[in-house]
Every structure is written in C-alpha cells, then in structure tokens.
Amino acid sequence: MFVPVVSVICICFNHEAFVEYAINSVLNQTYKNIELIVVDNGSSDNSYTIIQEIIQKNPAIKFLRFSETVSNTKAFNTAFKQSLGTYLIDLSADDVLLEDCIENQVDFLAQQPDNVGLIFGNAYHINKNGTRVKPYFEVDERDKVTDFLLHKTNYLRLLSTGVIMCSVASMFTRKHFEILKGYNEELFFEDLDYWLRLSKVFEIKFLDVFLVEKRFLQNSLGNQFHKNDEFSRKINKSLRQIYKESMVRNTSKVEHKALLNRIHYSMDQSLKNKQLVDFVKLSLIEIRCRYYLLK
C-alpha cells in the first residue's frame, strides 16, 4: 500500500511558549511517514534554544534558521526546497495538530481526483493556555458544520469572503504547489493568495472533521489587518496586492462583483480603525475594480 511522505513545515517566530506543543503534536501523530522541518524565522526570544533541545532528542527533525526575520512566504518556500513530501502542511508554531489530523487528511486526499490540490477541515480555537474556546466553523450537536456551502468552496466564494478559509487545517499537494510555483514571496502572508490562485484552476475539498487547534492571540495574523503599525502595514500592502492580482485573474463580471464586495469590507475595516492611508489606497483599487466590472 502506498504510504505517502507528508512534509510538515513548522515556522516559528517568537513562539517560545508554544513551539514545543506544536512540534510534539507532529511527533505524536498516528500517521508515521512524516518529514518535519522546523524553521526559526529570526526569533528574538528563547525559541531557538527550545527547538535545539527537542532536536537533540529527535535528530530526524530538519532545521532551518534565518538570522533576520523574512516573510512567511519566503520561509516556507525555502524549507519546501529541502522537503520530500507528496503532501504538505504549513504549520505555525503556536498551533497544534490533533493526533489523527494527518491520518484523516491523507485518507481523504488520497480519495480525491487529480485536480484537487488542497483539502481543509475544521479547527478548535484555543487561547494562550491551550483551552478550547469555540469551533472555527460553527457545528451542530454531531460536531458537523452548519454551513453546508463549505463543501462547495471554490474561487468565487473565496474571492467574496474570508470566513470560509481555515488554512491551519489544510493539506496541499506538492504537485500543485510546484505547478503554481509556490508561495508569492512578494507577499507578507501566504494563504489567501495561494488559495485563490489554486482554486481558479484546480479544486479545493472540505473534510468535515476537527483536525487542529488554532491558537487565537492578540498578535495573531487575523487581528493585524487595517491597523497602524509596521507589521500591519506590511499585511495591508500584501492584501491590496492580492486584490490587484485578482482583478487581472478574474474572467467574469460575477467574479469582479465578488471582489468588489471584498474590497468594500476592507475599506470599512480601514475606516473603523482610522487607517486613512489604507482606505485611500483601497479606494483607488475599488475604482479600478468598478472599471473592470463595466467593461
């Protein structure tokens, strides 16, 4: 029986309080044919020392270290070049895989046709202490999602709203990652751009099970959009770039209208957070999108 190698690339940036939990969650998987690559992305805390102590006990772990912090996209692409896996997982060092996560993902992905490049499932939100707070996607009494449209995740839905993405609970194929030439290293974050590019050409499937625990912190990426600090400005710049590239990628008025709705949401968030520069730049993109819609 074919047992594919799964490469888990775990990127750590100042996650000294959590990185051991993340690594152990990979080491303790029921699925065993795993290649674990840990990347220290220029951490200034005690992360490096903690990682080295774990590697001494688990020498099969591969390790990369950046002396200065780079984008997550560059960190992952660099590690990917050293990986061997047929399937890939992009794991943040503050998140945790449930012990049967990879087994469930591999079983499900192996059943999919060749044009499926990514699968994803549900997650538990956890706090800094590891206590489960709520599901990422709302579930019923059987722990099944109430949003049945998750099973129909496609380019149009991803373009119109971000609430259907759960990238931390995803697994994607090496083949499709190579076809799409990996993550865009010009961007500061990876998931939205990659999901959009992939879903425009290939398919995404949803697995209705809990796969991971996603740690929700005040400095989590999702909390940094449209705020006023250097980190947030890099994120907002990347988001605007994704919108611009989506305009070029779109092939129908329906897609342009979906993108316009997404831009309007970002504009509202910019105003809410008093980010006038971000708002003005988004407004210019909005005008361009309206032009595409009228063509």
Q: What is the pLDDT along the chain (295 residues), one digit of tens a residue?
A: 779 999 999 999 999 999 999 999 999 999 999 999 999 999 999 999 999 999 999 999 999 999 999 999 999 999 999 999 999 999 999 999 999 999 999 999 999 999 999 999 999 999 999 999 999 999 999 999 999 999 999 999 999 987 778 999 999 999 999 999 999 999 988 899 999 999 999 999 999 999 999 998 765 555 445 456 777 788 899 999 999 999 999 999 999 999 999 999 999 988 998 889 999 999 999 999 999 888 7
The C-alpha atoms of residue 251 and residue 238 are separated, in whole angstroms, by 22
Architecture of the domain made up of 6-212 = Alpha-Beta Complex (3.90)
The C-alpha atoms of residue 153 and residue 169 are separated, in whole angstroms, by 14
Q: Are 9 and 76 in contact (CB under 8 A)?
A: yes
Q: How far is CA 205 from the centre of its chain?
A: 15
Compute the residue count for the chain: 295
Residue among 22, 107, 23 at smallest CA distance from 61: 23
The C-alpha atoms of residue 66 and residue 14 are separated, in whole angstroms, by 12
Name residues whose C-beta falls within 8 Å of residue 210's C-beta, 6 or more positions apart in sequence: 98, 121, 122, 123, 124, 135, 143
Q: Which segments of the chain belong to CATH 3.90.550.10?
A: 6-212
pTM of the model: 0.93
